[in-house]
Structure 1
Amino acid sequence: MEKLSVTINEEKGRLDKVLSERLPEYSRSQIQQWLKEGAVALNGEPLKANYKVKAGNEIIITIPEPVSLELIAENIPLDIVYQDEDVAVINKPQGMVVHPSAGHPNGTLVNALLYHLQDLSTINDVVRPGIVHRIDKDTSGLLMVAKNDAAHESLAKQLKDKTSLRKYVALVHGNISHEKGTINAPIGRSKVNRKMQAVIEDGRPAVTHFTVLERFGEFTLVELQLETGRTHQIRVHMQYIGFPLAGDPVYGPRKTLKGNGQFLHAKLLGFTHPRTQEQMVFEAPLPEIFEKTLEKLREID
């Protein structure tokens, strides 16, 4: 096992915050996990996240050996909108993680794909077979899946060249007065909280177009079209212009509409078929909780 030694000089405050600042190569969630596992110690005694550091403390972190993820096919219900020998289109439910990770070793879309589909591309690493692009755990809607490597390369190139079509529907806080808008603001990891993304000067280019569909006084229903696919792009961009997504536990306000996370649905997906060159377009209806929330807002309005 690898050991890290961190000597406290003039730093003050909570241990978890100090370690995050001193060890930028590790995520804050990783440091929190080490603290929970008792892997962070002072004089052999495990420390808690809220320990107040003192000058001269020598903090020893015993980094556990990485646990290898074993991919298991799981009989999880899956809404397969379309499939052929090259591609599949899945309507992912809200609450499902796309691929396994240390925090979600199973129960993911990939586990379900392994059970329901015979073939998946191998271009990505071992835990992401077939996955060309992702949507967040609590975002519902359409994803394209590659069933062989040639299809994967074609679909990935379309995403890179911005020739694929991706439209979302979101419910946001606030009343957007204008009908359309474009947000062109670079996105990267937040300098304040490493678990979040943010609009930052040296971020990667990110462009989101939006159109107002309906207004409900304190909320607005919008359609969004992505030019780029940055992590949390819609959530970050809408917060940046002052209209955070309703229900968003990370980028939205605490007082919001009841739901299972952000009200964000990938409703339309279009691409050129890798083999036939046919233009394929798919649409998925809003989840029931999204529709019922809109109905209630219409009644109030």
Structure 2
Amino acid sequence: MSDKLEITITKEQGRIDKVLSEKLPSYSRSQIQQWLKDGLVLLNNQQVKANYKVRAEDHFIINIPEEKTLDIKASDIPLDIVYQDQDVAVVNKPQGMVVHPSKGHPDHTLVNALLFHLDHLSSINGVIRPGIVHRIDKDTSGLLMVAKNDHSHASLAQQLQDKTTLREYTALVHGNIKHQKGTITAPIGRSKTNRQMQDVVEDGKPAVTHFTVLEHFTDFTLIKLQLETGRTHQIRVHMKYIGYPIAGDPVYGPKKTLAGNGQFLHAGVIGFNHPVTDQWMTFEAALPEIFQKTLANLEKPIDF
């Protein structure tokens, strides 16, 4: 059976989704928006839309859906678990692994491995994405937060939405970036010419990427990137947009590039407040072996 919450508005103002997310900190705003979309939030027995502006004395009944039983098959796939406790886990996803099952990848995903190695996973994202709070691309390696219960999931999702998490990447890009630091602010949405790709488009969602140059090579630059937003393919799209595509990227980069297993992009640092203790936690993962070997074999510029 689903849980039922009753909330009366006193002095709060603004959209119902924002107000409820503030009054129910255990649930993310995106989760509350889904409840509104599903007709689970009622005012005077009438469904409420997400843009409804609350008024004093409004009395809402919220039918919180029951957690779904997870039915994706657990698989004994090797998994690098960097940290775990009863609420959260941090895993180091290898390059080439899809995060969750889909029509094209029904198994052998990170989710299949998580179900085998971890005792509990949150159910907020349904049976296909248990525990998954955020994603990285198949051919991007690195760290991911995993929620082991719904309270933790809501907290981590809210931190992502509030932009208080730390997500730091290392990438090898084509060309020599002249500036030591930079910020790319350009909206991202589905490409107008290829629906399978993302692109910088005028009506896209806001996207901000910060970068710092770490090292120059003859034809490449090693950079550190920090995400302020988390759009699909954000780093890959933004670096292509400014003329320095990720090396090895089969979609957004040159066809002839360095040999490897996909783009040279690694989510090496992640930080967040623990959902229960509120303690700030930071984790790091070294570059994959193929990334390290590639860097060791690159030519250094004589003068830059």
CA contact 2:218–2:299 (8 Å) conserved in 1: no
1:27-71 CA-partner distances (Å, limit 9, x unpaired) = xxxxxxxxxxxxxxxxxxxxxxxxxxxxxxxxxxxxxxxxxx961
Which residue number corresponds to residue 290 of structure 2?
289
User: 1:214, 1:239 → 2: CA distance?
Assistant: 19
Residue 266 of structure 2 is matched in structure 1 by 265
Query: Structure 1, unaligned stretches of length 5 or more?
Result: 1-68
Partner SS state of residue 143, structure 1: strand
Task: Indicate the residue corresponding to 2:231 in structure 1.
Answer: 230
Q: Does 1:150 find its partner at 2:124?
A: no
Give, in whole Å, the separation in 1 of the partners of 2:207 and 2:152.
25
Percent identical:
75
In 2, Cα distance between equivalents of 1:279 and 1:125: 28
| 1:78 correspondence with 2:79 | yes
CA distance in 2, matches of 1:174, 1:195: 26
How far is the alpha carbon of 1:255 from its aligned partner?
A: 1.2
CA drift of 1:125 comes to 2.0
Q: CA deviation at 1:161?
A: 0.2
Residue 217 of structure 1 aligns with an amino acid whose one-letter code is T
SS at match of 2:124: coil
| Alignment of structure 1 residues 199-218 onto 2, 5 Å | 199-218=200-219
The 3-state SS of whatever aligns with 2:194 is coil
Structure 2 counterpart of 1:185, which letter?
Answer: A
Tell me the equivalent position of 2:244. 243
1:185 corresponds in structure 2 to: 186
SS of alignment partner, residue 215 of structure 2: strand
**Partners of 1:187 and 1:300 in 2: CA distance:** 33
Aligned partner of residue 90 in structure 1, secondary structure: strand
Matched residue, 2:130:
129
CA distance in 1, matches of 2:292, 2:244: 20
TM-score relative to the length of structure 1: 0.76
CA distance in 2, matches of 1:243, 1:235: 9
2:218·2:301 contact (CA, 8 Å) conserved in 1?
Answer: no
Residues 130, 157 of structure 1: alpha-carbon distance in 2 compared, 3 angstrom cutoff: same
* CA–CA separation in structure 2 for the residues paired with 1:75 and 1:300: 45
What is the Cα-based RMSD across aligned positions, in Å? 1.2
The within-5 A match list for 1:15-164 is: 71-164=72-165
Q: After TM superposition, where is structure 1 displaced by more than 6 Å over at least 4 residues in a row?
A: none
Displacement after TM superposition at 1:124 (Å): 0.3
CA distance in 2, matches of 1:117, 1:275: 18
Which residue matches 1:3? none
Following superposition, the deviation at residue 260 of structure 1 comes to 0.4
Change (3 A) 1:200 1:164: same
Q: Aligned partner of 2:210: which letter? A: H
What's the offset of the Cα at 1:126? 1.2
Q: Distance in 1 between matches of 2:201 and 2:99?
A: 27
Q: Distance in 1 between matches of 2:207 and 2:275?
A: 26
Tell me by how many angstroms 1:97 deviates: 0.1
TM-score (norm 2): 0.75
Alignment-mate amino acid for residue 161 of structure 1: D
Q: Is the 8 A contact 2:213 2:224 kept in 1?
A: yes
Task: Determine if contact 2:207/2:230 at 8 Å carries over to the other structure.
Answer: yes
For residue 115 of structure 1, give the secondary structure of its aligned residue in structure 2: helix
The Cα offsets for residues 7-42 of structure 1, whole Å up to 9 and x where unpaired, read as xxxxxxxxxxxxxxxxxxxxxxxxxxxxxxxxxxxx
Matched, 1:195 2:196: yes
Query: 1:158-200, CA deviations, whole angstroms, 9 ceiling, x for partnerless residues?
Result: 0000000000000000000110000000000000000000000
Superimposed CA distance per residue, residues 64-94 of structure 1 (whole angstroms, 9 cap, x where no aligned partner): xxxxx96100000000000000000000000
Q: SS at 1:156's partner residue?
A: helix
For residues 270 and 72 of structure 1, what CA distance do their matches in structure 2 show?
30
